[in-house]
Amino acid sequence: MRDGAAIQDQIPDNHCFGCGPQNDHGLQIKSYWRGENESVCEFTPLPHHCAGPTRYLNGGIIATVIDCHTICTAIADGYRQAGRDTGTGNKIWYATGKLEVQYRAPAEIDEPVELTAKILERTERKTVLSCELKSAGRLCATANVVAVRVPDNW
C-alpha cells in the first residue's frame, strides 16, 4: 500500500485537524502514492469517532478523511508538477473548493477504512479528484473534490 514517505509528513507547517502531523488532537491520517495519479490511505477509527449508533463511523469524520486525503494528494501533485519533492522550496497549498460526498453504506467503527483518491483533471489553478472509502471491503462513500490552488502564504 505504501510508496515512500507519507504525503502529510512532507508538507511543512500542516496543523490541519484531519491530516496535520503537527496537530496532536487531530486524526493524523497518512496518505501514500500508488502510481502516478492515485493515492491511498488507511484510517483506523477510534470509538469516539462514532455516529449515533456507536458501531458506525460518524459521517463528518468520513467527510473529513476524504477531504484531507484528496487535498493532500493535490498538494503533493502540485509539487510533482513543479518538478520538486513535496515540501521543498516555496510552499504549495490547495484548499477545498468543492466536496461532494455520497454516503452509500455505514462504515464499521471497529474496522479500518481504506481510501483511494484518483486525480481526474489538473490545471494551474485546480485539481479535480474522485475518492472511494471502503470498510471491510464494502464501498461506504464516494466523493468528488475540487482542490483549488491558494497562495503559498495561505
C-alpha dihedral sign at 46, 49, 55, 58: negative
* CATH number of the domain to which 66 belongs: 3.10.129.10
pTM: 0.95
List, for residues 62-113, the tens digit of each pLDDT value.
999 999 999 999 999 999 999 999 999 999 999 999 999 999 999 999 999 9
77, 122 in Cβ contact below 8 A?
A: yes
Of residues 26, 27, 132, the one with CA closest to residue 70 = 132
Domain extent, residue 110, equals: 8-150
List, for residues 16-75, the tens digit of each pLDDT value.
999 999 999 999 999 999 999 999 999 999 999 999 999 999 999 999 999 999 999 999
The CA-CA-CA angle for residues 24, 114, 150, to 5°, reads 60
- The H or E element that residue 149 is part of is strand 138-150
The number of domains in the chain is 1
What does DSSP say about strands 138-150 and 113-122: parallel, antiparallel, or unpaired?
Answer: unpaired
